[in-house]
Amino acid sequence: MSAVDVAARSLPVARPVSTRFFRSELAMVFGRRRNQVALAVLGAVPILIAIAVKLSTPKPGDGGPQFITQITQNGVFVAFTTLTVVIPIFLPLAVSVVSGDAVAGEAGAGTLRYLLVVPVSRTRLLAVKYATTVVFALAATLLVSAVGVIIGLILFPRGAATLLSGNTVGMGEVLWRLFLSSLYVAAGMAALAAVGLFVSVLVEASVAAMAATAGLAIIIQVLDAVPQLHAIQPYLLNHRWLDFGDLLRTPMITTNVVHGLLIALAYAAIFFSLAWARFGGKDVSS
């Protein structure tokens, strides 16, 4: 074949925007048995809490998670209570599993080299992997909230609710604030996912990446709980995670929530960039 023929051959043209890979990744993540189990466990938490509260009404001063005493007045508080329960460990664990597996899982299976020669540019691969993990974090959070609302409204009173500030608002307003709270929680988890993605490009065994990310998530919980470390605590990723309760006041107190969002954004930007810098020039020899 002559050079002219080669040049005349119609060269493959890449569509500028294609969501096919992203959709295929979503199907992979949500189709994974392991991830489905994680979602099922998370979805079971509000049911357990609702049943427990139904069987034994908690009284103020009994302790227990934030909002648990409000449940008997309004079922939607099952969702808020559950968020409080799953934020420290359950949600971070689920996010650690998915984000730690993102690149390391492909490297371990050997499929990473085949994706790269398709070709998928390394930047696009990371972007798609990260976006998929963020969607998973959001879905997990919304699932917890949705199941909480449903079981709460089945077992407990519905209608107007009394906020933390003492005002009473309608059902629609409470659900709106629950939605905002869920988004806020998901934002924190999305930032953790960026940390997991970075760990995932560092190692080639996905189990190691998942464990390391989950370990980090637990370590920051410990650091945030030690009073002597208050100087560094405002910079910890999880420091403002539980402050979504500020959204349940009228007017909403946004100082801490905005601080939490800025921290999440900073962590996401820094760790995604680190992952990109590391992965961009990495020799893929798995």
Residues that bind another protein (CB under 8 A): 1-3, 6, 9, 11-15, 18, 20-21, 23-24, 28, 32-33, 109-111, 113-121, 280-281, 283-285
Q: How far is the CB of 109 from another protein (least distance, A)?
A: 6
**CB under 8 Å to 238, separation ≥6 — which residues?**
87, 88, 92, 188, 217, 220, 221, 224
Cα distances from 91 to residues 109, 224, 274, in angstroms, run 26, 17, 23
Residue 18 Cβ, how far from another protein at the closest point, in Å? 5
Q: Which one, 105 or 148, has the nearer CB to another protein? A: 105
H/E stretch holding 164:
none
Nearer to another protein, 33 or 59 (CB): 33
Q: Which residue has the tokens 């709106």?
A: 176
HEC readout, 224-277 = HHCHHHCCCHHHCCCCCHHHHHHHHCCCCCCHHHHHHHHHHHHHHHHHHHHHHH
**DSSP result, 111-142:** HHHHHHTTT--HHHHHHHHHHHHHHHHHHHHH
Structure-token match 């449903």, residue found:
150
User: Considering the complex, what minimum distance in angstroms separates the CB of residue 113 from another protein?
Assistant: 5
Region for 246 from its dihedrals, namely left if φ exceeds 0, alpha if ψ lies in -120 to 50, beta otherwise:
alpha
Provide, rounded to whole angstroms, the least separation between the CB of residue 20 and another protein.
4
Nearer to another protein, 21 or 90 (CB): 21
The minimum distance between CB 117 and another protein, in angstroms, equals: 5
CB nearer to another protein: pick between 183 and 284: 284
Q: Which is nearer to another protein, 234 or 280 (CB)?
A: 280
Report, in Å, the least distance between residue 197 CB and another protein. 18
Residue 162: DSSP 8-state: E
| Structural contact between residues 279 and 122, judged by C-beta atoms closer than 8 angstroms | yes
**Residue 11: other Cβ atoms inside 10 A:** 7
Nearer to another protein, 57 or 111 (CB): 111
CB of 38 to another protein, least distance (A): 16
CB closer to another protein out of 2 and 56: 2
